[in-house]
Amino acid sequence: MPPKQAPEKQNYKRVWLLFLYFLILSAASFVFVHLLLPKPVVPITSPAASSTTATAAPDSAPVPTPAPADAALLPDGFVYVSDIIPDAQIDIRYYSAYNFVGTRIDGYEAPQAILTKEAALALKTASTILAKQGYGIKIFDAYRPLRAVDHFVSWSQDLTDTKMKAVFYPNLDKSALFNQGFIARKSGHSRGSTADLTLVHLISGQEVDMGSSFDFFGEISHHGTQLITNQQTQSRNILRDAMAAAGFAPYSKEWWHYCLQNEPYPDQYFDFVIR
């Protein structure tokens, strides 16, 4: 018969076995949790990244997408350009604050391009010609209510308000804008058959470089200026040729401005609000 171990010694052994048991158990759970379990997926957008995205300023003015408009609200003879040329980009600058005044202009209550039916159909012809060359169109302004022109006039009388001078007329005195023909007291746009537009690349949707931007008031915006590259002149000519083939006349001082030659209301100026 083996000598009976002392009870203290037996307890000591039990404690050791228990300790070893827990040690092995802990090691096993560590291996399971850290090495065998699949890693949780970390979200790609951290709060810092998403806040940067939300506040980052766009490179250029955003292009608002016009909401579907009710053509029945328009006076007879007028249409929404989007209904006639669905793929035309519409960026109505006088609806936004990104224009030479720096605020939304009176009469622009929606970012819509409205034209007489004749002008819109002619513009569609131009856009078809341009599409064959890989270009689309972007419209900055079309029909312009008389009250918008009145807004320009009252703005022009406050010579201290030069908020947007650096962008749109850095080399001109504000007082010269009317005298030099960049802004008219009575605009052809109010007759509904005049549009301001540029070319975009059909594939990317990006604006074509025309050498100066829409509503930049200066010699660089004139047709035939020597201040731009051959490539830029060529791009202006592509737009001008397509518009001419569709029946529009250019304006010598603004490469973006085109008026339908056989306009349906040559003597009528309209003042309905753009909605």
Binding site for Zn ion (CB under 5 A): 196, 257
Positive or negative: CA dihedral 177, 146, 106, 98: negative
* Shortest distance in whole angstroms from residue 160 CB to Zn ion: 26
- DSSP secondary-structure letter at 84? H
* Shortest distance in whole angstroms from residue 79 CB to Zn ion: 19
In the complex with Zn ion, which residue's Cβ is closer, 91 or 196? 196
Radius of gyration of the chain (CA): 34
* Shortest distance in whole angstroms from residue 178 CB to Zn ion: 14
- DSSP secondary-structure letter at 78? E
The CA-atom distances, in angstroms, between 253 and each of 40, 59, 196, 207, 274 are 63, 27, 12, 20, 26
Tokens of 57: 């300023």
CB-based contacts of 32, cutoff 8 Å, min separation 6: none
Q: Rounded to whole angstroms, how far apart are CA atoms 50 and 17?
A: 54
In the complex with Zn ion, which residue's Cβ is closer, 85 or 183? 183
Q: Look at residues 139, 81, 159, 123 and name the one whose alpha carbon lies nearest to residue 247.
A: 123
**How are beta strands 89-90 and 135-141 bridged, if at all?**
parallel
In the complex with Zn ion, which residue's Cβ is closer, 85 or 149? 149
> Is 109 noted as a catalytic residue in this protein?
no
Which residue out of 118, 207, 254, 263 is catalytically annotated? 254
* Shortest distance in whole angstroms from residue 149 CB to Zn ion: 11
Q: Which residue is nearest to Zn ion (CB)?
A: 257
**The residue to which tokens 């209904």 are assigned:** 83
In the complex with Zn ion, which residue's Cβ is closer, 174 or 257? 257
In the complex with Zn ion, which residue's Cβ is closer, 135 or 258? 258
* Shortest distance in whole angstroms from residue 196 CB to Zn ion: 4
Q: Rounded to whole angstroms, how far apart are CA atoms 102 and 93?
A: 10
Q: Rounded to whole angstroms, how far apart are CA atoms 129 and 135?
A: 9
Report, as residue numbers or ranges, the catalytic residues. 254
